[in-house]
Amino acid sequence: MKRALFRSIVSIVAAATAWVQIAPAQVMRTESSGISGERIRAHVKFLASDLLEGRGVGTRGGDLASEYIATQFALDGLKPAGDNGTYFQNFTLVGSDPQPATSLSVTASHVTLPFGWLDDFVGVTFQQKPTVDIDADAVFVGHGIVAPEYQWDDYQGVDVHGKVVVLFTGEPPSRDPKFFNGAALTYYGRWTYKYEEAARHGAAGAIIVHTMPTASYGWNVVRSSWSKEELEMKLGPGTPAVGFAGWVTKEAGERIAATQNTTADQWLQLADTRGFRAKPLPLRFRIHAAAKIRELRTRNVIGKVEGSDPQLKNEAVMFSAHWDHLGVGEAVRGDAIYNGAQDNATGCGVLLELARAWAALPQKPRRSALFISVAAEEAGLLGSEYYGKHPVIAAGKTALALNYDSLPPLGRTSDVQVHGAERTTIYSVVAEAARRFHLAISPDPRPLAGTYYRSDHFSFARVGIPAFSIDSGHDLVGQPHGTADRLADEYNEAHYHQPSDEYHDSWDFSGMELYARFGFAINHEAANLPKLPTWQTADEFLAARVASGVR
State the residues that interact with Zn ion by CB under 5 A: 343, 378
Taking the least distance from each CB to Zn ion, the nearer of 181 and 342 is 342
Smallest separation (angstroms) from Zn ion to the CB of 336: 17
In the complex with Zn ion, the residue whose CB is nearer, 214 or 406, is 406
Residue type, 348: C
Nearer to Zn ion, 378 or 502 (CB): 378
* Rounded Cα distance, 207 and 219, in Å: 14
Q: Which phi and psi (to 5°) does residue 116 adopt?
A: -90, 135
396 phi, psi to nearest 5 deg: -70, -5
Minimal distance, residue 446 CB to Zn ion, in Å: 17
Closest by CA to 407, choosing from 323, 352, 346, is 346
Q: CA torsion sign, 156 to 161 to 163 to 166?
A: positive
**Shortest gap between Cβ of 429 and Zn ion (angstroms)?**
29
Task: Decide whether 232 or 378 has the Cβ nearer to Zn ion.
Answer: 378
Closest CB to Zn ion among 379 and 426?
A: 379
Q: What is the nearest approach in angstroms of Zn ion to the Cβ of residue 321? A: 12
| Cβ at position 296, least distance to Zn ion in Å | 18
Q: Is the CB of 199 or the CB of 381 nearer to Zn ion?
A: 381
Q: Are 410 and 471 contacting, i.e. CB atoms less than 8 angstroms apart?
A: no
- Pick 305 or 376: Cβ nearer Zn ion: 376
Phi, psi of 272 (to 5 degrees): -80, -10
What minimum distance in Å lies between the beta carbon of 92 and Zn ion?
22
Nearer to Zn ion, 22 or 326 (CB): 326
Quote the least distance from Cβ 237 to Zn ion, whole Å: 32
For 4, 64, 185, 318, 355, the CA distances from 403, given in Å and listed in that order, are 29, 22, 20, 8, 13
Q: Smallest distance from the beta carbon of 343 to Zn ion, in angstroms?
A: 4
DSSP 405: -
Closest chain position to Zn ion (CB) = 343
Report in angstroms how near the CB of residue 378 gets to Zn ion at its nearest.
5
Q: What HEC string does 186-226 produce?
A: CHHHCHHHHHHHHHHCCCCEEEEECCHHHHCCCHHHHHHHC
Residue 370 CB, nearest distance to Zn ion (Å)? Answer: 23
Contact 156, 128 (CB under 8 A): no
Question: Is the distance from CB of 213 to CB of 271 less than 8 angstroms?
Answer: no
Nearer to Zn ion, 343 or 475 (CB): 343
Buried b / exposed e along 268-301 (16+ C-beta atoms within 10 A): bebbbeeebebbebebbbbbbbbbeeeebebbbb
Q: Is the dihedral of CA 420, 70, 316, 36 positive or negative?
A: negative
Distance of CA 199 to the CA centre of its chain: 21
Nearer to Zn ion, 21 or 492 (CB): 492
